[in-house]
Chain A
């Protein structure tokens, strides 16, 4: 059913811009001939003349990213197409259109990383590795998959090598052509769920572009390339190894078709490269690596039985690792004492009075906004008082010294969880001059009930900041935990994070505190329960809807 195929590109800040590639129609994606990759070919024909513009630089395989070349994006299959429109990434396949959604939880209910499942796909040039990867992603029905291709890791060529390449004499199929060290480091970080900057290789200049592609770990990571099984270290990281075994004549035929028809190269050049470099490399390095494979898929992407088996196995593995977050959160920690990390504002008559206004369903919007803002101001002031201070002595105009205090941290930033958290930004700006504000958009997937990460913009160097993370209400804590996890993935230490809310449910507080004991939790009120729709009881209703005036009509 609703599979959302994900592309890998997380809504990360960096990656974001959609490249201009148009959505490719699905069929195209799946045509094997076109999709397969061989990495080297393109390289070769970097000669400016030949390639029609689209193909020129080879896309960084990292998946989708923004490579200019539209035609054969292998990666494209999924990813790229998906990112086409930045907000609604789309993957079209024969029978359906898949909208890629936000990133679902990539950690368990204790907030710890769940190891992603890493699939390695190896096979000769033009064997259909990308097609297989695409089909797996499509059938997997997992919302977030990262596709990493070896193409991103070609080494930068020297001038001499560049010339060889132009003559079809540089060996792109040899292990020496790849930067295995970087490949290993990148895969390792992705496996830890961290952010990585994947190089974008330009196949015209044979160098890395200055920009990089930002990728995040995911529940499933697919790593593909002709020498995917070459490095013993990388081999160890792969949870499942697939070898796509397509007959040599079929591969050569695809290569000829692609290079000649689509890339305008001449027959002689293609054959020369194939016979001198591609074919020997296959028999020396690629074919022998078949021994490492768990599964050998004959005929590539057409082999539906094989794909089905693979998908089934991956599903089982994912279930074992446990990715059903919100439901789990809602049922833990009943009746536990409150954690030490919670800081509840003293319940004064004013705070109670403000809550009375904003909780009352009959409060008109202008009053709701007004009183919410007052309450927000109070909670933000309170949150600031939890930051570290140092002693300071100042001179006064009255001529005496005054023993006072100043904040010990001048780097404070606010991060709001959209949409409701945004309502708190103004108050932070009102109390901290020139504060930087980051934003994270997390939405609940209505079909799974899980939170998903859609968008993210954070100040650079956020790791050096004290972060005031804002969300108006916290029910199960699922969204807050995802936001905290994002901050941790950006190397912000737990102790530097304060999650600030107007109202929290006890369950949410327990979940956050259990998962992230170092994070301080600040709120003006704690409610005992949440209902089946994950609203806090007695609660406040949907804070964002009431504040922004977007509540469904029957609710007003």
Chain B
């Protein structure tokens, strides 16, 4: 339903494991502000947080749930649904941490692990420097957070670490804001079972995201 949108370059090629937020003008506005070089840092953070919140909310929709019936204060019954327990978040340091608050705002006590992947400036070769997860991560659904994918190398490394911790590929949902077609292709090729959720697939990645968000530019 909400998935792909032909306006994004080449989305059709990626299959149903890549989902793009339903495009609305207002999401486009958020993206425009984030990409605009003249946006102030305070605006940047403000609008980034809004977009993150929307992406996180949509990512949570991918989690498993079951039906249930509750009684309302009027005494009537409501056919609702209930999310299963056993989820966790994992952020890829540093820019992935920008998305942690958004997740916290939706799930108050969710466990959050971290992975630090450093990429070699010359070769773009990525290597994992640090990883810390909840102990039983192998039994959980994992919401992997990383806002910008340009080559996809960092994410590929991070997922490799998760798999080393016995997390099943199909239990991983990647939450992402901006993704290049190249990165999408390589990540999908590496992990065909993983689900990816992004707000935009575009050939230029706003690589200034982390710097501007954290103010280290």
Cβ of B129 under 8 Å from chain A = no
| Nearest-CB residue, chain A, relative to B27 | A385
Tell whether, in the assembled complex, residue B78 and residue A353 are in contact, meaning their CB atoms are under 8 Å apart: no
**B11-48 interface code vs A (CB 8 A; 1 in, 0 out):** 00000000000101111110111011110000100100
With A370-B108, A405-B28: A396-B38 Cβ-Cβ less than 8 Å:
no
Residue B204 at the A interface, CB < 8 A?
yes
B32 near A346 with CB under 8 A, answer no
Q: Which of the four size classes fits the interface of chain A? A: 35 or more
Is residue B83 contacting chain A, with contact meaning CB distance below 8 A? yes
Contacts of A370 in B (CB 8 A): 108
Q: Residue A303 at the B interface, CB < 8 A?
A: no
Majority DSSP secondary structure for residues of B touching A? mixed
CB distance from A428 to the nearest CB of B (A): 12
Determine whether A389 belongs to the interface, using a CB cutoff of 8 Å to chain B.
yes
Closest A residue to B73 by CB, please name it.
Answer: A541
Contacts of B50 in A (CB 8 A): 381, 431
Chain B residues in 8 Å Cβ range of A349: 61, 63, 65, 81, 83
* Residues of chain B lying within 8 A (CB to CB) of residue A398: 204-208
Chain A residue nearest to B76 (CB atoms) is A538
Q: Does A329 contact B (CB under 8 A)?
A: no
Point out the residues of chain B lying under 8 angstroms from A405, CB to CB: 25, 28-29, 32
Min CB distance B154 to A, Å, is 18
- Minimum distance in angstroms from A190 CB to a CB of chain B: 41
User: Is the CB–CB distance between B65 and A381 below 8 Å?
Assistant: no
Q: Are the C-beta atoms of A404 and B74 separated by less than 8 Å?
A: no
Contact B70 A537 (CB under 8 A): no
A361 contacts partner chain B, Cβ-Cβ < 8 Å: yes
Size bin of chain B's contact surface: 35 or more
* Nearest-Cβ distance from residue B134 to partner chain A, whole angstroms: 22
Q: Which residues 336-355 of A sit at the B interface, judged by CB distance below 8 A?
A: 346, 348-350, 352-353, 355
Q: Does B72 lie within 8 Å of A540, measured CB to CB?
A: yes
A-B contact list, 13 entries, CB within 8 Å: A346-B1, A350-B57, A350-B61, A356-B70, A356-B80, A360-B70, A389-B26, A389-B28, A398-B205, A405-B29, A406-B33, A431-B50, A539-B74
Known: A374-B105, A394-B32, A433-B43. 19 other contacts (CB 8 A): A348-B2, A349-B63, A350-B61, A356-B70, A359-B70, A370-B108, A374-B106, A384-B26, A389-B25, A402-B32, A404-B31, A404-B32, A404-B35, A404-B36, A407-B26, A537-B76, A538-B76, A540-B72, A541-B72
Q: Which residues of B contact A (CB under 8 A)?
A: 1-2, 22, 24-29, 31-33, 35-38, 43, 46, 50, 53-54, 57-58, 60-61, 63, 65, 68, 70-74, 76-78, 80-83, 105-106, 108, 204-208
